[in-house]
Amino acid sequence: MKKIEAIIRKTKFDELKEALLASDIDWFEYHDVHGIGQRRQERIYRGVQYSTDVIERVAITIVCRDIIAQPTIQVILKVANTGEVGDGRIFLSDIIDTYSIRTGENGDSVLKDKK
Amino acid sequence: MDELALSLDTVWMLLAAMLVFWMQPGFALCEAGFTRGKNTANILMKNFVDFMFGSLLFYFVGFGFMFGSEGSGFIGAPNWGDLSFYKGGLPVEGFLIFETVFCATAATIVSGAMTERTKFSMYLVYSAVISLFIYPIEGHWTWGGGWLCNDAADSFMMRHFGEVFHDFAGSAIVHSVGGVLALIGAIVLGPRRGKYGKDGKSRAIPGHNLTLASLGVFILWLGWFGFNPGSQLAASGEVNRVAISHVFLTTNLAAVAGGTATLFLTWIKYGKPSLSLTLNGVLAGLVGITAGCDLVSPLGAVIIGLICGIVLVYAIEFIDHRLHIDDPVGASSVHGVCGILGTLLTGLLSTSSGLLYGHGWSLLGAQSFGVLVIDLWAAGCGILLFYGIKKLHGIRVDARIEDEGLDVYEHGESCYN
């Protein structure tokens, strides 16, 4: 089992959501995140220039079977890409096991991907 | 016919009073929007206090201080809730309401400049003092028929200037007094924590909701259509119906000219048209036109608006970047600087007695003297009041309260849950 964590542009979220639902992903979580990086945006408020170092992005988390991982990553790479700096990152890691709280069973069968 | 005319005048005055009352939520939203969400309950509460204290105190004593003793002397006799002394054509209770909402407007200007760091209890003291003394006394000298507006041939103003001080709806009497007190309050308090960096540079502390601030400014703008045309205090007859229509037009033209000037100036200066400053620019034009809205031509109103909108931007920069006085909403620039400016520009642009229309220096002299006297009074009272509070009790909340927000510590409730 793998965990895919992706940090993407907010503007790409709807498109990616549709793409993930159309592929083999049954469920994923997302949350709004604030990141701070070296890149700044210039703003002006009441005549005072300042730079916002806070950058708003959406983070999505997908846990899936090994064979689903690469196709899913390819979907994200394709959909969330604009070519501009700031498109985001994908992190892939191993998951030891998954349990269903309702049935108590564990293993790949809990992840009800279509395949 | 006279009966009907007086009724019409009364209805217009009360309608205008409603519109001026409506400026209270305008100020409340404007100030709330320009400040941070952790202090919103506090700023809203201050706006309620200004109106509640102002109405009570003005009814019991302030009205007498302002209109009593037929304008003679330094201060009128307090009326102690008795309105029978007032001898005017309009019903006295309606007139009291009309004057009350003006008093409350002067009071509520200050809360924005002192926001996010003032002890609530000490704000109550300030709010009571302006409605009880500061405003009614200078009001006595002017609208109360006092020495600055006394047009008898041997009066002080006529002997020295040949003109009386003219402030139709209160650029000086209401707005500059509020603005000067706002400036002094902000000086005595000191800047908000984090407003100026160690290098002395000004930092932006963006307001939490410019939607609220914009709605507040639109509401104030609507309120001004009562503030200025209502100050005619009459609507019946040809003279009055023409006058209030004229004032309506000049008021609006100055507002749009002020906003437009700020819009383009910020676009040139900062590379982008700034909403937060354009909102102030509209108010700057409105404050500026208030003194001479009856005397200047529509073109004159546009000129006043443009000048106020431009001066506003430099005033805000100067007060913030150079003087390092932290006025979160720009009350000292909008109401103080543009209030004084509008009073003086009346002396230049009045079609009947202005310098630029070839009528000599009389009115400009009277305007300069009048606004100087009024604002020295406000400044003197402000210095005594705010330094007094600071010495006796402390005016500023603890650093921890300021950091975490006044809402929770001063009021025990927060606006956003």
Please tell me the predicted confidence (pLDDT) of residue B63. Answer: 95
Amino acid identity at B57: L
> B71: which residues sit within 8 A by CB, 6+ positions away?
B140, B144, B145, B146, B147, B149, B150
ipTM over 0.90? The verdict is no
Check whether B1 has a pLDDT greater than 80: no
Please tell me the predicted confidence (pLDDT) of residue A37. Answer: 80
User: What confidence tens digit (pLDDT) does each residue in B34-44 have?
Assistant: 999 999 999 99
Residue A92 backbone phi and psi in degrees, to 5: -120, 130
Pairing of strands A29-45, A48-64: antiparallel
B270 contacts A50? CB cut-off 8 A: no
What is the average pLDDT score of chain B?
A: 95
Query: With contact defined as beta carbons under 8 Å apart, do B270 and B262 qualify?
Result: no
Please tell me the predicted confidence (pLDDT) of residue B200. Answer: 85
Domain of residue A22, CATH code: 3.30.70.120
Residue of A nearest to B314 (CA): A47
Check whether A40 has a pLDDT greater than 80: no
Q: Contacts of residue A47 in chain B, CB cutoff 8 Å?
A: 266, 269-270, 274, 277, 313, 316-317, 320-321
Q: Contacts of residue B266 in chain A, CB cutoff 8 Å?
A: 44, 47
- Which residue in this structure is represented by tokens 């000037």? B261
Helix (H) or strand (E) holding B102: helix B92-113
Please tell me the predicted confidence (pLDDT) of residue B73. Answer: 85
- Whether A88 maps to a domain, the answer reads yes
> B331: which residues sit within 8 A by CB, 6+ positions away?
B109, B110, B112, B113, B178, B179, B182
Q: Is some CB atom of chain A closer than 8 A to the CB atom of B275?
A: no
User: What confidence tens digit (pLDDT) does each residue in B117-176 have?
Assistant: 999 999 999 999 999 999 999 999 999 999 999 988 889 999 999 999 999 999 999 999
B206 contacts A44? CB cut-off 8 A: no
Q: Contacts of residue A49 in chain B, CB cutoff 8 Å?
A: 204, 270
Residue of B nearest to A49 (CA): B204
Query: With contact defined as beta carbons under 8 Å apart, do A4 and A94 qualify?
Result: no
B206 contacts A45? CB cut-off 8 A: yes
Residue B219 backbone phi and psi in degrees, to 5: -65, -40
- Whether A74 maps to a domain, the answer reads yes
> B339: which residues sit within 8 A by CB, 6+ positions away?
B171, B172, B174, B175, B176, B177, B178, B179, B287, B288, B290, B291
- Whether A37 maps to a domain, the answer reads yes
Exposure string of B241-267, with b = 16+ CB inside 10 Å and e = fewer, is eebbebbeebbbbbbbbbbbbbbbbbe
What range does the domain containing A35 cover?
2-110
User: What confidence tens digit (pLDDT) does each residue in B236-279 have?
Assistant: 999 999 999 999 999 999 999 999 999 999 999 999 999 999 99
- Whether A16 maps to a domain, the answer reads yes
**What is the torsional sign of CA B105, B110, B116, B118?**
negative
CATH code of the region B2-411: 1.10.3430.10
The helix/strand/coil state of A62 is: strand
- What is the edge-to-edge ordering of all strands in the sheet holding A88-94? A29-45, A48-64, A2-8, A88-94
Rounded CA separation B156/B74 (Å): 14
In DSSP terms, A56 is beta-bridged to A34
Rounded CA separation B101/B95 (Å): 10
Rounded CA separation A37/A83 (Å): 18
Of B246, B260, B368, the C-alpha closest to B304 is B260
Rounded CA separation B100/B55 (Å): 6
Please report which confidence band the pLDDT of residue A114 belongs to, taking 50, 70 and 90 as the band edges: low
- Which residue in this structure is represented by tokens 């790409």? A12
Check whether A112 has a pLDDT greater than 90: no
Q: Which two tokens stand for residue B395?
A: 């005016």
Domain count along chain A: 1
- Whether A76 maps to a domain, the answer reads yes
- Whether A115 maps to a domain, the answer reads no
User: What confidence tens digit (pLDDT) does each residue in B307-349 have?
Assistant: 999 999 999 999 999 999 999 999 999 999 999 999 999 999 9
Please report which confidence band the pLDDT of residue B368 belongs to, taking 50, 70 and 90 as the band edges: very high
pTM for this one?
A: 0.88
Rounded CA separation B401/B409 (Å): 6
